[in-house]
Structure 1
């Protein structure tokens, strides 16, 4: 883990509840942000360890994938956007050579977050789908979940994340509870960016294209694996300019805004996940893990 030089940044160290392991007394663990909300992503920083040490851990039972960082190690902890506020157990184990693992455990506080409610009235044909269409959509959703669940052990992203389009305005709608024709639907798990058809869509960071497809709800889509369980997906594209297994750079054009799939007009839908934890893509823009 030599060669990493951290930016000067204040870390708020969480109180450690040591599991009767005096050898772990010199190890420091920090979550940034220290008290995330549903949909946030925290950078978990472990310091005070040997350069050759291996770090493993989990937050609320979700495994963490660590990478060398700041003369220590770090991992991304995604807080799924349907997580209830409260205190969740985290566990870290540091393995250094042939010695017994040094174990630490503590609690991470997840703060409340209020999501909006959107009531829409649509033609009944857009709400009640044929059973074959529902079957297709379910299979496609399962394929996306399988892609998101894959964890590449290599860190492919570097530096700060960028917005997926250059059009003015922030994305909207993340976590919104939608009620269609009076019936509650699944909450909206991504950000929608208003943009004209043909606007360039770029990769928010470097990674590998792991899925290019045309699905019923998302339309033409691209999924990028950024490594260590982090994926981003781009829906409703008019055109796609990358192929599966392509390596892409941050800011590289991957397609054009469109209205394919179930879309009422041209816009870009972006979703992001750390493993199975569905996160707010906007949270990535505030993530600072520069070496």
Structure 2
């Protein structure tokens, strides 16, 4: 807490506004948050991280603040990352620069044996997987100005975690990406809950993720639920936190039944449990 307070004091001295930063050192694949205290004649717009832009939003429950999430790619190497804050003061556009230090998460490797057809794809499967990826990325690239969440996130189910975010995935002795979410042990037919209020933006069967539901919580925050045996929602449905959105299964590329739970912020894949912990602590 002293560290955060000292950062806020430091930046309130350097900037023309007051801010809090959850952590200026971020592990690759994780998220930080910058909170801005509203000031007269100051309008917060966005932050720029290299070529990526992230909008600064109204705080979902505190009218005196705004905030922006700072997601760091899993593939980011240790470095000092420049973050440019764009704002208007008395109608004139200005910018200030922050620096975040990126650390290596030192994620472990995980060996998995799956059907050969799920690793070495034929032309038809490649085309399907490619189309589904493009469809999902189009969804993640969009964001809404209004937050749908107004209280703390919950876990999608009460079960043992069998595989954490970030482990390098070695499928059939071939390194093929990393584990992009958190796996929960779940026999086929276990109810899955919405982790917060949101809108269903995708509910369909997909090649890799099987039965899939994606929820939009607003402000560029998405949660994803994979390998389902059935879902009880459709595109466009509004759901409330703890609503059952479907049942766990073993569809898609899996070695057995479970729930794969993941999250995106501003289009970036991030550790879902660290994100939820951060949001619950800082926003709610």
Same fold (TM over 0.5): yes
- Distance (Å, rounded) in 2 between the aligned partners of 1:211 and 1:126: 22
1:273/1:285 CA distance change after superposition, 3 Å: same
Partner of 1:163 in structure 2?
A: 155
Partner of 2:33 in structure 1?
A: 43
- Distance (Å, rounded) in 2 between the aligned partners of 1:110 and 1:12: 20
- Structure with the bigger percentage of strand: 2
1:158/1:60 CA distance change after superposition, 3 Å: farther
1:72 lines up with 2:65 in the alignment: yes
Partner of 2:246 in structure 1?
A: 255
1:213 lines up with 2:204 in the alignment: yes
CA contact (8 A) 2:196 2:242 kept: yes
1:122/1:248 CA distance change after superposition, 3 Å: closer
CA contact (8 A) 2:211 2:252 kept: yes
Partner of 2:272 in structure 1?
A: 281
Partner of 2:177 in structure 1?
A: 186
1:125/1:214 CA distance change after superposition, 3 Å: closer
Report deviation, 1:232. 1.1
- Distance (Å, rounded) in 2 between the aligned partners of 1:245 and 1:175: 31
Partner of 2:20 in structure 1?
A: 30
Partner of 2:88 in structure 1?
A: 95
Partner of 1:172 in structure 2?
A: 163
Partner of 2:7 in structure 1?
A: 13
Specify the SS of the correspondent of 1:155: coil
Task: Provide the TM-score with structure 1 as the length reference.
Answer: 0.86
Partner of 2:129 in structure 1?
A: 137
Cα RMSD (Å): 2.5
Report deviation, 1:29. 2.9
Q: How many residues align?
A: 277
Structure 2 runs not aligned, ≥5 long: none
Deviates more, 1:83-92 or 1:48-57: 48-57
1:10/1:159 CA distance change after superposition, 3 Å: farther
Report deviation, 1:48. 5.7
CA contact (8 A) 1:160 1:289 kept: no
Partner of 1:201 in structure 2?
A: 192
**What per-residue deviation string (whole Å, max 9, x for no partner) do you get for residues 233-257 of structure 1?**
1111111111111111122111111
Report deviation, 1:202. 0.9
1:238 lines up with 2:229 in the alignment: yes
Report deviation, 1:93. 2.2
Task: Provide the TM-score with structure 2 as the length reference.
Answer: 0.88
CA contact (8 A) 1:16 1:105 kept: no
Partner of 1:3 in structure 2?
A: none
Report deviation, 1:89. 0.7
- Structure with the bigger percentage of helix: 2
